[in-house]
Amino acid sequence: MSAYEIGKHYPSAKSLIRMSELFDASIDYILGLSPLRKVILEKGLPNDEVRLLSLYRHLDATQKEKSRRFLELLKQTAEPLANFDEKLWQASVESVTVRSKDDITVSFISGTEIVAGIEKEGR
């Protein structure tokens, strides 16, 4: 394998398939094209679920736990949100930074930030 590792030779398709089976890893992973060692493909799994699974696998343990809590709360919400839901808010907000009454930043677990300021009258 060392000739492969240093780029002197490239494996054939047959060799890649054998390596994939031997190392229980995707061919993309073996070739360095994907950070995911194994791609789980379930028959009939919709593309949006495959995308969610891929995103989830790139999260650290803390982010995974926050995501699970958020999804559990979202699942419990039977109908579209029409009013403020405190539990859902708490599960989706990472932090709120108040620098002053006119400078507030809300950071969500998704990475989105909302910067809000209170506009003073007469401006």
Residue 115 is inside which H or E element, if any? Answer: strand 113-116
Render 54-114 in DSSP notation, one character per residue: HHHHTS-HHHHHHHHHHHHHHHH--S---S--HHHHHHHEEEEEEEETTEEEEEETTS-EE
Rounded CA separation 8/77 (Å):
57
The pLDDT tens digits for 17-73 are 898 888 888 888 888 887 777 766 656 778 788 778 878 888 888 888 888 887 887
Average pLDDT of the chain? Answer: 77
Q: What are phi and psi of 93, to 5 degrees?
A: -95, 125
Tokens representing 5 are: 């590792």
